[in-house]
Structure 1
Amino acid sequence: MSVEVQRLGPADWQLWRSVRLAALADAPEAFGSSLDKEQGYTDEQWRAWMAPDRGLKAVARTPGGTAGVIGVWVPHDSDPEVYSMWVHPHSRGTGVGDRLVSEALAWAGEQRLEAVMLWVVGDNAAARRLYERHGFEATGESQPYPRDPARIEYVMRRTL
């Protein structure tokens, strides 16, 4: 399958919004935010997300349309963090996730970052395998998943 990954800039805020809302609608349990919350964001809030100092946002496209999204946030006090990773159901298992993670790692390398981390829910075996293929390793750090404290999420980290 042909997959093109596009890095987004400030002018792409509407595309980011549409894909982010689609991800929240499809897999609400996979995100720390909610569809209701983000549907309430103003256009100005969506535009603010796209500021270059807010990290990477990228989408994957296939001949069938937008197939996934990934973001990397660079906080001032810790490792950069992958967030908003999502692959459309019709594109799962086709390599879209691998392309998105590769793009995030390439961007992090271009920024001369030392490492990238992410949180993954323990029962999401497919996501864990995806991240492990790209060199992420469990750190041993965990916490109850904020949206469902009966589930545990774990930190994975990749040194660049």
Structure 2
Amino acid sequence: MSDITVRRLGEDEWEQYRTARLSALEESPEAFVATADEERAYDEDFWRARMRRSQRLLAEVEGQSVGVASIGQAQEANDKVAELFGLWVAPSARGTGVATRLVQAGADAAREQGRTHLAYWVGSDNGRAVAFASGFGFRPTDSRRPMRVRNGDEPEDEIAMVLPLGEDRGTPSL
């Protein structure tokens, strides 16, 4: 595979983010709360507001989108913790390092924002995602919440995993 580039998208690049986001929703509908049909109906103002709310990252290979992720404020009031969310890699690029590059770019962006930790919520039954996050340096916390996405009749939990971004190796409350 060719070189992977990850770039931060600005508000005026909302259409590129929209295209990547809709690809993610279409290819992996079980991984997201929203649906492609819902988000396809949103207008430009909605997408621009979304771009301002969080940092959007786009991974590309030879000018083609192959992945996307977002970095935003973690749910709690702790402004030292950023949250990685909406991570998706196109099936053709899985296993090639795209997810690693997106997470690294997200950690760099969070660090530049003055954040000390990066949180990532992972399905507790998703062994592959937990292993990926652990391999990157994320540590599991005691924080759990019900998954917002249901993949069957049985409710599942998500676990917050946290990556320290600097000297503070402690685990913030989530």
**Alignment TM-score > 0.5, same fold:** yes
1:5-154 correspondence to structure 2 within 5 Å: 5-51=6-52, 54-63=53-62, 65-75=64-74, 77-78=77-78, 79-148=81-150, 150-154=155-159
Q: CA deviation at 1:35?
A: 2.1
Kept in 1: contact 2:58–2:68 (CA 8 A): yes
Q: CA deviation at 1:114?
A: 1.3
Query: Which is higher, the Rg of structure 1 or of structure 2?
Result: 2
CA deviation after TM superposition for structure 1 residue 38, in Å: 1.5
Q: What is the DSSP-based 3-state SS (H/G/I as helix, E as strand, rest coil) of the residue aligned with 2:155?
A: strand
Whether the aligned pair in 1 keeps the contact of 2:31 and 2:149 (CA below 8 Å) is no
Offset, 1:64: 7.2
The equivalent position to 1:158 in structure 2, one of 163, 169, 172, is 163
Alignment match, 2:169: none
SS of the residue corresponding to residue 19 of structure 1 reads helix
Cα shift at 1:68: 0.2
Whole-angstrom distance in 2 between the partners of 1:6 and 1:147: 28
1:64–1:89 Cα change, 3 Å: farther
Distance between the aligned counterparts of 1:68 and 1:129, measured in 2?
A: 19
Q: How far apart in 1 are the matches of 2:66 and 2:107?
A: 19
Distance 2:84 2:15 in 1: 21
Shift in Å at residue 110 of structure 1? 1.0
* Backbone CA RMSD of aligned residues: 1.7
Equivalent AA in structure 2 for residue 20 of structure 1: R
Q: Which runs of 5+ in 2 are unaligned?
A: 166-174
Q: Tell me the distance in 1 between the aligned counterparts of 2:87 and 2:119.
A: 13
Equivalent residue letter for 1:34: T
SS for the counterpart of 1:32 is coil
Shift >3 Å, 4+ stretches: none
Q: Distance in 1 between matches of 2:10 and 2:63?
A: 23
Q: Give the percent of matched residue pairs that are identical in Structure 1 and Structure 2.
A: 34
Unpaired segments ≥5 residues, structure 1:
none
Distance 1:48 1:55 in 2: 9
